Structure 1
Amino acid sequence: MATPTKVSAVEEITTDFKESTAAVLTEYRGLTVAQLKELRRSLGQDTKYSVVKNTLTGIAAKEAGIDAFEGQLAGPTAIAFIKGDAVAAAKSLTDFAKTNPQLIIKTGIFEGNALDASGVAALAALESREFQLARVAGVLKAPMSMLARTADALRMKLEEESGAPADSAAEEAPAAAEEAPAAEAATEE
């Protein structure tokens, strides 16, 4: 007979699965409480890293329609429930696992698709959404900054060639441009 505590735990894990865009199953055997705290901090506030009971997690996964964790629920298990940027969270997990080999990434799910450990590593290798957005914003700003640098370089070159401030050279340039077509027309006649 299921106790109210176990029923509540299954409901909570089921809800976590359903509300997450991704989840990564790990084994944390040998990690200290301080290391787990450091890992949780590195994952950010959009990721919940929970130590779970294997039997209850298996029930919750079935209720949530997830079969990726079958056969993986053994030993000390914790799951990263990712509600934010899955790439950034996967990167945090894999980076932490590199410096703390006791953390073993077993499997995961991303937007309903099962991932093995190499799939989680591949997800971590992608660029995070924040970085992609920043890069796009940077690309949109780049042409304007390039134009500004080009204008500055032209201004400085005009100053060097004429010995006069670029502002007066810039004012003279349109007048010279207007005179050039008139001179060409006179030579053609």
Structure 2
Amino acid sequence: MGSQSREEKARVIEDLTEKMRSNAAVLVDYKGINVAQSDELRKRSREAGIDFVVAKNTLALRAADAAGVEQISEHLSGPTAIAFSQDPVVSAKLMAEFAGRVETFDLKGGLLDDGKLLDSQQVVALSRLPGRDQLIAQVVGGVASPLTGLVTALNNTVQGFVIALGQVAEQKRESGES
């Protein structure tokens, strides 16, 4: 039983290490949330592509050390859960929203995928930014708008050219028949 427990701990540390290396993270103090709130948070996290993990601080500390983000240790005391995601804004938005609704649910800090540590105020600021998908949509919309205008102008030019050729052909036919 003891070795199985060690193997399980090793797997948890390995999993957390990989997540800390390749994802952004928001750390929260989840004490005091009830089962219904916990279920809602987990469901909404899954839907948003967030991996919500509750791990023992000692295991998370080992993973942070292995991932080279040992500065996160200042946030790993008391009941801690970590919300991992590819888009740091997504996890910050959901965790900040939840912290605003549940008095005992507090933001501790965060970690960007480049290893930069955030305090709770920076996580809140991050939560107010547009998400990656929204930014991409804005950029695509901004790029598409002038392209649509260009296509319309070119189309009108081509249509005008075709009409002019048609008129020239018509004139030639009329002058040839006369």
Structure 2 length normalisation: TM-score?
0.72
Where does the alignment leave 5 or more consecutive residues of structure 1 unmatched? 149-189
**Does the 8 Å contact 1:94/1:121 carry over to 2?**
yes
Residue 94 (structure 2) pairs with residue 89 (structure 1): no
C-alpha spacing 1:45/1:129, structure 2 compared with 1 (3 Å): closer
User: Paired residues, what number?
Assistant: 146
Larger Cα-atom Rg: 1
C-alpha spacing 1:141/1:15, structure 2 compared with 1 (3 Å): closer
Give SS of 2:118's match.
strand
- Could you tell me how far apart the structure 2 residues matched to 1:117 and 1:131 are? 23
Instruction: State the shift of 1:118 in Å.
Output: 0.9
Instruction: State the shift of 1:113 in Å.
Output: 0.6
Instruction: State the shift of 1:45 in Å.
Output: 4.7
Give SS of 2:33's match.
coil
Instruction: State the shift of 1:139 in Å.
Output: 3.1
Q: 1:75 corresponds to which residue?
A: 78
Give the structure, 1 or 2, with the largest relative contact order (CA under 8 Å, sep 6 or more).
2
Q: 1:10 corresponds to which residue?
A: 13
Where does the alignment leave 5 or more consecutive residues of structure 2 unmatched? 153-178
Residue deviations 1:76-129 (CA, integer Å, cap 9, x gap): 1110111x2211221111111111122111011112111011111111121111
Letter in 2 for 1:29: K
Structure 1 length normalisation: TM-score?
0.68
Residue 94 (structure 2) pairs with residue 100 (structure 1): no
RMSD: 2.4
1:62 pairs, out of 42, 62, 65, with 65
**Does the 8 Å contact 1:68/1:107 carry over to 2?**
no
> Which stretches of structure 1, 4 residues or more, deviate above 6 A after TM superposition?
none
C-alpha spacing 1:71/1:132, structure 2 compared with 1 (3 Å): closer
Higher helix proportion (structure 1 or 2):
2
Instruction: State the shift of 1:37 in Å.
Output: 2.2
Q: 2:173 corresponds to which residue?
A: none
- Could you tell me how far apart the structure 2 residues matched to 1:32 and 1:7 are? 29
Letter in 1 for 2:116: N
C-alpha spacing 1:12/1:141, structure 2 compared with 1 (3 Å): closer
Letter in 1 for 2:92: A
Give the fraction of aligned pairs with identical amino acids, expressed as a percent. Answer: 36
Residue 115 (structure 2) pairs with residue 112 (structure 1): yes
- Could you tell me how far apart the structure 2 residues matched to 1:12 and 1:68 are? 19
Residue deviations 1:15-72 (CA, integer Å, cap 9, x gap): 221231x111111001122212212232335210011101111111101101232232
